């Protein structure tokens, strides 16, 4: 029964063709692919790319120059290796443990080193952050495109092979296939079908990975979608899973500010990383320890300085109605919001029903009153038809055991009732024998793809079916915009807060999130622009751009709030809400002078005077304007004092959602980061080396676990002895020994 329903969903999204060719041998599957499309292969794949197939094609093209291979993808991850001997000693055991048997992408090393053969091109739409700034091939072949339009632009690039990793599971005795974390790619299938109908040689190829969580709803597609499927246990492998990040004081403060802008019963979009985890932590603190949460906001001055904004836009009470997630990326934060009963506001794929749910006319618990409302609003007829029954059963108003024949309802307990909602006695009987208990088919999270730590994948794989059905991995065209589904999307996404991260923000509210002013790309725009634009299109939504107020490089601190910058991801005319660790700036619809003043209020106070001077110099703010005194104490030390006082109470832990690092590794990560910072500064370098030379000859017992983890407990030569002394000196300076 469930299988048939899911197949109906899948066929409405996918392409139906002949049965695919199944292979258990990698090389044979690649032979079949080349036989189908020829020697000019333009293969596309995202986070869920089938690595073995990519590697086999790359090897073929390396060996045969007559094969023209273009790989269109995003974020070509490689295992972290470390740039120094100390970093490699730290990373290698960790990477082996966490990344398991995840294969390397064979093209990455020659790609990074500029040694790709002439017949092979790599085209990316999102770069691994900062990795390819000096890479000419990457910068020249980069396609600057909204992720929302990525699949369309793959076609523009001549894509003739689409590839992905898929999951399989037996449901109701039938084998079902799921796009799982690649469901955003549903949008490319009709585009490829159009090319087929034009006579183009197109192939859709998949690789089964039994370690990939099986996702339901839209992610399940007919097996006929694929031309070629590679399926053998030897190709199962660990999923790419970035470890849960640590969260520092700056991120926690931004997260607290952001969590106060979420109205109960609203909609949330947020991404991966420490800022996403900080928002999640703030939401959990608000929901489960509300008094402590409001006390912290008061102590930080958020309530006094930004309370009016919080009251107008968000709230500080528990999430009684809960949140609904509509996001490009299903990041690990959403899993924790689900586990803490915050992600619980369900939405439905029926416009009329969703409208009644929003209005409070249909409750989660269904009764005969619910039937009366449905009839009054025209969702079902008084004399129930087979279509009415299907609707009532799909959403839980009626039990699955009820059937309809010749105007008579046949109940599972043998009772027969006229299918007439207009008769009071009949309606009462229907209530006793036909009614379900609660609404069904509700979705608490729509997302295009997921990425997170291994613990996230394990929970998704082991999740009870009833819970898994509340998550809908779906096409990117649905989650990232309103077009094509506007009426339903508007009803589902009420009170939406789209939260995204920026690198720099100007005093006039323009944001730089993905590139440098000289044209080089750091990463990519992703879906950020579309979510910002959607926030302006939805009457009760807000765009929230988060930005750390400063950055530190080689010991030098600079401001991320700047007067102007030569590259823009989000233009100033789409400005709305900006958050730093120091507060919240409401910019939408404001005059230029007020935008500048509000941005100055959340800038680091070390840079406020110069920023104000720049604005005055060009006449964008009155010459006599002064920053109010209450906003002139924006220093990291003030925030750190508050955080340090509260940590003994259990607040602001280094890793709020656990860590793939051991306790020794967490300490060593800080030690190595501190050393790296010092090595970049001549002033601190000599001090560090002097401290290392003066380190004690025999390491104290407290240092042995750290030294053993680095393989430096028994140094074998002068170099290892020097490394040991450096580690000992830094452990001592940081207070660990």
Chain centre to alpha carbon of residue 667: 27
Better-predicted residue by pLDDT, 713 or 679: 713
- Sort 71 into a burial class: Cβ within 10 Å, 0-12 / 13-18 / 19+: buried
| Opening angle at CA 259, ends 442 and 573, nearest 5 | 95
What is d(CA 142, CA 158) in angstroms, rounded to the nearest whole number? 15
Name the percent of the chain lying above pLDDT 70.
95
Q: Could you read off the pLDDT of 19-34 as tens digits, one per residue?
A: 999 999 999 999 999 9
Is the pLDDT score of 682 beyond 80? no
Domain 2-235 has CATH 3.40.1080.10: yes
What are residue 138's phi and psi, to 5 degrees? Answer: -65, -45
Q: Could you read off the pLDDT of 243-289 as tens digits, one per residue?
A: 888 899 999 999 999 999 999 999 999 988 899 999 999 999 999 99
Please report the pLDDT score of residue 136 as a whole number.
Answer: 96
Q: Could you read off the pLDDT of 90-145 as tens digits, one per residue?
A: 999 999 999 999 999 999 999 999 999 999 999 999 999 889 999 999 999 999 99
Same fold? 2-235, 249-346+444-636: yes
Please report the pLDDT score of residue 11 as a whole number.
Answer: 45
Reduce the DSSP state of residue 59 to 3 states and report it.
Answer: helix
The confidence band for 216, taking pLDDT boundaries of 50, 70 and 90, is very high
Q: Which region holds residue 258: left if phi is over 0, alpha if psi is between -120 and 50, else beta?
A: alpha
Structure tokens at 85: 């001997």
Please report the pLDDT score of residue 14 as a whole number.
Answer: 47
Average pLDDT over residues 342-362: 98
Given strand 408-410, what is the order of strands in its sheet?
403-405, 408-410, 416-418
Partnered with residue 585 across adjacent β-strands are: 578
- Sort 133 into a burial class: Cβ within 10 Å, 0-12 / 13-18 / 19+: middle
Q: DSSP readout, 497-526?
A: EEEEE-SEEETTS-EE-SB-TTS-BSS--T
| Domain residue ranges of the chain, discontinuous segments joined by + | 2-235, 249-346+444-636, 351-433, 663-733
H or E element: which one contains 637? Answer: helix 636-646
Is the pLDDT score of 213 beyond 80? yes
Q: What CATH class does 249-346+444-636 carry? A: alpha beta
Average pLDDT over residues 75-88: 88
What is d(CA 548, CA 536) in angstroms, rounded to the nearest whole number? 24
3-state secondary structure 284-314: HHHHHCHHHHHHHHHHCCHHHHHHHHHHHHC
Please report the pLDDT score of residue 692 as a whole number.
Answer: 56
- Sort 507 into a burial class: Cβ within 10 Å, 0-12 / 13-18 / 19+: buried
Partnered with residue 326 across adjacent β-strands are: 446
| Opening angle at CA 612, ends 514 and 579, nearest 5 | 45
Average pLDDT over residues 463-467: 96
Partnered with residue 438 across adjacent β-strands are: 365
Structure tokens at 167: 């999951």
Is the pLDDT score of 9 beyond 60? no
Please report the pLDDT score of residue 52 as a whole number.
Answer: 97
What is d(CA 253, CA 300) in angstroms, rounded to the nearest whole number? 9
Q: Could you read off the pLDDT of 285-321 as tens digits, one per residue?
A: 999 999 999 999 999 999 999 999 999 999 999 999 9
What is d(CA 18, CA 203) in angstroms, rounded to the nearest whole number? 12
């Amino acid at each position: 029964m469930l299988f048939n329903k899911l197949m109906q969903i899948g066929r409405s999204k996918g392409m139906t063709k002949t049965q695919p060719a199944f292979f258990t041998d990698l090389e044979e599957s690649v032979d079949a692919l080349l036989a189908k499309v020829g020697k000019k292969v333009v293969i596309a794949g995202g986070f869920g790319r089938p690595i073995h197939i990519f590697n086999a094609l790359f090897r073929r093209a390396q060996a045969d120059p007559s094969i023209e291979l273009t790989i269109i993808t995003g974020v070509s991850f490689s295992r972290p290796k470390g740039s120094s001997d100390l970093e490699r000693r730290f990373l290698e055991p960790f990477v082996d443990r966490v990344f398991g048997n995840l294969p390397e992408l064979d093209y990455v090393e020659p790609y990074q080193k500029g040694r790709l053969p002439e017949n092979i091109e790599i085209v990316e739409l999102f770069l691994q952050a900062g990795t390819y700034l000096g890479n000419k091939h990457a910068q020249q072949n980069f396609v600057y495109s909204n992720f929302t339009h990525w699949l369309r632009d793959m076609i523009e690039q001549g894509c003739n092979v689409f590839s992905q990793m898929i999951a399989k599971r037996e449901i109701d005795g039938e084998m079902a296939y799921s796009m799982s974390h690649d469901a955003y790619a549903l949008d490319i299938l009709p585009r490829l079908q159009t090319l087929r109908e034009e006579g183009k040689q197109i192939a859709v190829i998949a690789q089964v990975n039994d370690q990939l969580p099986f996702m339901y709803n839209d992610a399940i597609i007919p097996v006929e979608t694929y031309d070629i499927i590679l399926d053998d246990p030897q190709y199962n492998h660990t999923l790419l899973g970035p470890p849960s990040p640590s969260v520092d004081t700056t991120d926690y403060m931004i997260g607290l500010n952001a969590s106060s802008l979420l109205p109960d019963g609203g909609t949330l979009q947020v991404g991966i990383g420490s800022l996403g985890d900080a928002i999640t932590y703030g939401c959990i603190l608000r929901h489960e320890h509300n008094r402590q949460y409001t006390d912290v906001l008061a102590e930080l001055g958020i309530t006094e300085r930004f309370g009016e904004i919080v009251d107008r836009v968000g709230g500080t009470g528990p999430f009684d109605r809960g949140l609904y997630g509509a996001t490009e990326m299903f990041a690990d934060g959403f899993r924790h919001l689900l586990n803490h009963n915050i992600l619980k506001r369900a939405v439905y794929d029926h416009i009329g029903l969703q409208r009644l749910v929003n209005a409070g006319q249909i409750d989660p618990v269904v009764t005969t009153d619910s039937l009366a409302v449905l009839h009054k609003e025209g969702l079902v007829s008084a004399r129930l038809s087979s279509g009415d029954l299907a609707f009532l059963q799909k959403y839980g108003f009626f039990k699955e055991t009820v059937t309809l024949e010749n105007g008579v309802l046949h109940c599972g307990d043998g009772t027969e009732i006229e299918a007439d909602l207009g008769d009071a006695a009949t309606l009462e009987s229907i209530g006793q024998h036909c009614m379900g208990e609660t609404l069904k088919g509700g979705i608490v999270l729509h997302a295009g793809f997921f990425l997170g730590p291994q613990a996230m994948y394990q929970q998704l794989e082991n999740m009870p079916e009833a819970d898994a059905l509340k998550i809908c991995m779906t096409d990117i065209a649905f989650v990232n915009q309103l077009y094509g589904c506007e009426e339903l999307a508007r009803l589902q996404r009420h009170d939406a807060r789209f939260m995204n991260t920026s690198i720099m923000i100007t005093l006039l509210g323009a944001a730089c999130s993905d590139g440098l002013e000289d044209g080089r790309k750091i990463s990519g725009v992703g879906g950020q622009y579309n979510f910002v634009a959607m926030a302006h299109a939805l009457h009760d939504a807000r765009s929230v751009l988060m930005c750390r107020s400063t950055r530190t490089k080689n010991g030098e601190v600079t401001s991320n709030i700047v007067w102007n910058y030569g590259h823009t991801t989000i233009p100033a005319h789409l400005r709305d809400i900006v958050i730093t660790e120091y507060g919240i700036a409401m910019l939408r619809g404001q005059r230029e002078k007020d935008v500048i003043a509000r941005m100055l209020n959340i800038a680091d106070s070390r840079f406020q005077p110069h920023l104000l001077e720049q604005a005055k110099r060009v006449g964008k703010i009155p010459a006599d304007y002064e920053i109010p005194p209450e906003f002139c104490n924006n220093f990291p030390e003030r925030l750190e004092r508050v955080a340090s006082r509260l940590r003994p109470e259990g607040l602001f832990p280094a890793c709020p959602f656990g860590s793939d690092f051991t306790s020794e590794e967490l300490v060593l990560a800080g030690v190595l980061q501190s050393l790296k910072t010092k090595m970049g500064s001549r002033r601190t370098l000599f001090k560090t080396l002097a401290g290392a030379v003066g380190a004690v000859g025999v390491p104290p017992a407290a240092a042995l676990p750290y030294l053993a983890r680095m393989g430096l407990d028994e140094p074998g030569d002068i170099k290892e002895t020097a490394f040991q002394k450096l580690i000992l000196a830094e452990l001592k300076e940081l207070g660990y020994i």
